Structure 1
Amino acid sequence: MATFLVLIPPGAEAGDEKARFLRDRFSWIALFLPVLWLLWHRAFLAAALAFAVQSLGSAIAGHPAFGLAGLGLSVATGLLVALEGPSMLAASLERKGWTVDAVISAADRETAEDIYYMENGTGEAPAAESARPLLPASQTSARRHAPMLGLVGFKEGG
């Protein structure tokens, strides 16, 4: 199962035909070609930054003492874009006025579109009982400051 973010354009309502579905997943192409992946998705500023960091990594890789650090910098850039690329695209669209309308788990994009449009009353299924989580998630939980990455949080439970 994959997770899809559904974003709607500025001024549009839920169920709009111009909704954009972004699959939140690891991208192998972005791992090996981060600059080209960012350019393909029109993230020009991020592409310029990734190019600068990878160029710095290539320059450092030529030094005999820091060669491994330069290679690590280039790999880390690709890994960051591969893991966080879809989140960067969603954040870019949100800055342009788009709104995250739903988060849907589905096997593929077509199934995610079917679920989204049926839940919003444009399909045959009733929209009364929605299985998707409400956004933002910070308003749905009583524990707002949970520990991160398995670390013990301070002032918990009392």
Structure 2
Amino acid sequence: MIRTATPADIPVIHTLVRELAEYEKALEEAKATPEQLREALFGAHPAAYAHIAVDDTTGEPAGFALWFLNFSTWRGVHGIYLEDLYVRPEARGAGHGKALLTELARICVERGYQRLEWSVLNWNRPSIDFYESLGARAQDEWTVYRLTDGALAALGATP
């Protein structure tokens, strides 16, 4: 079962974000607080959205998808950028990841969005294989760039 996250899900979303960061070998980089997640998802001006995969037998959260809108100047419409997709190891193989992606694809179709995009670490072969089995294709001609921390501050302080 997939459902839209509610404010009551903030503790589990925070836990799942940290589990994902640990899986990606970057737990020290996961600095978001529950309060920041609450503001981003449910504040006065929500900037992101989340869905929870619930295990049908236990009723427990099995995973989540956290996403936000992007915009294509070439297509002239919004799309969804999937920031995080994570299914707990013990729940993998039960269809939760596919169900989460299916729900996001359904939202895209329903709203006229023309893209559903995300990034995956190059070493994460199980995820790459899974995404490709659904028809997703790597955008190998693009390289992601990112400014953070000191470099972002330095550029932002440039007159």
Pick 1 or 2: higher relative contact order, CA cutoff 8 A, min separation 6.
1
Normalized against structure 2, the TM-score is what? 0.24
Structure index of larger Rg: 1
Bigger helix share = 1
